[in-house]
Amino acid sequence: DAAPVSSDTEIARIAPVLDALKADGIPVSLDSYQPATQAYALSRGVAYLNDIRGFPDAAFYPQLAKSSAKLVVMHSVQDGQADRREAPAGDIMDHIAAFFDARIAALTGAGIKRNRLVLDPGMGFFLGAAPETSLSVLARFDELRLRFDLPVLLSVSRKSFLRALTGRGPGDVGAATLAAELAAAAGGAD
């Protein structure tokens, strides 16, 4: 439940780290939904950009198209910060697939090669308040891989649904995180 920060603050925080990692030849994945931060990261040669809003800013697509970074396109039931709203009515997998259909079409239509995309269905509050929604996606995420023929990333570390299921705080759900990660790996997560 972190408070949002400006792109200037993000850049100030990541600049020395990106430079040090680049100097050591370490590939970097950067999470930000702010195009200014993303542009800075691309200029520093990051290997991956991960956007919790799924890259909604079409004005930024030409810059994304010029880069070689892989793009982790994350689905969320809301814009920006995860919150405690309910998942949309109906089958969550249909909702997620419709989101990816639209976003893949927009990104590839702007000249971004499809093989650069990695799909993230979002977990925890990114899917809604009910832990059952995340459990359903965890059990069925292979449907996304099969439908889109793209890598699927599942981020479950200390997510809200694990805390709700175990009744523990973020620092005490290591075993639940490991179990969810093993289930994802067994199901074919990339």
What is the assigned CATH class of domain 7-156? alpha beta
CA distances in angstroms from 129 to 51, 74, 165, 171, listed in the order given: 21, 17, 12, 20
Which helix (DSSP H) or strand (DSSP E) does residue 16 occupy?
helix 7-23
Q: Tens of pLDDT along the chain (190 residues)?
A: 578 899 999 999 999 999 999 899 999 999 999 999 999 999 999 999 999 999 999 999 999 999 999 999 999 876 555 555 667 677 889 999 999 999 999 999 999 999 999 999 988 878 888 889 999 999 998 899 999 999 999 888 888 899 999 999 889 999 999 999 999 898 888 8
| Residue with token string 């067994």 | 186
d(CA 73, CA 24): 27
d(CA 85, CA 125): 8
| Residue with token string 């004005």 | 59
The pTM score is: 0.90
